Amino acid sequence: MRHSGADFVRVLWCWTEATPNAVSRARISLECALDQLGFTGEGLDDAVLAASELVANAIEHAPGPYEMRLRFMRGPRLICEVADMDPRIPVVPAFRQMNPLKVAPGRCGGGLDALLELLSERGRGLRIVHQLTCGAWGFASEYGGRSKVAWMVIPGS
């Protein structure tokens, strides 16, 4: 189903604040679409998990209605978008790569600090998205700044 011409977008699913089980239903919509496109295994699992974090984030922080889309780009890239009706672009903290094998001088491994930072109550979802997409995600304004979209490159695309 790859398209070699101009970019195009397919809406996978639309929902509102009142939609029951919205995150799991969005996850199923994306999983079915990616399965039909030939994605399997870890790439499929990573994409579905990362997208479900963007969906949960939109529901928690922005008004609906919401929309999940797949954007087919020229070349091998496939983008998943989650749109909401809040025009404000969130400030995203810089995520540093944590490598427990490289310890800064004067530190005793930092294992507990690194674990607590990763498991902190807020911001876990975007850290997961960042890790699963290798940093290929973000936010953008839509419709002249009246709404926004969270986007991520589908891993393995």
Closest CA to 42 of 143, 137, 151, 131: 131
What's the pTM value of the predicted model, to 2 decimals? 0.78
Q: Is 93 exposed, middle or buried (0-12, 13-18, 19+ CB in 10 A)?
A: exposed
Assess if residue 135 is contained within a domain: yes
Number of domains in the chain: 1
Domain residue limits at 131: 8-93+123-153
Decide which of 47 and 107 is more confident. Answer: 47
88 assigned to some structural domain:
yes
Whether 50 shows a pLDDT value over 60: the answer reads yes
3-state DSSP assignment of residue 156? coil
CA distance 138 to 58: 13
Q: Is residue 45 in some structural domain? A: yes
CATH number at residue 79: 3.30.565.10
Q: What is the dihedral of CA 8, 35, 154, 145, to 10 degrees?
A: 50
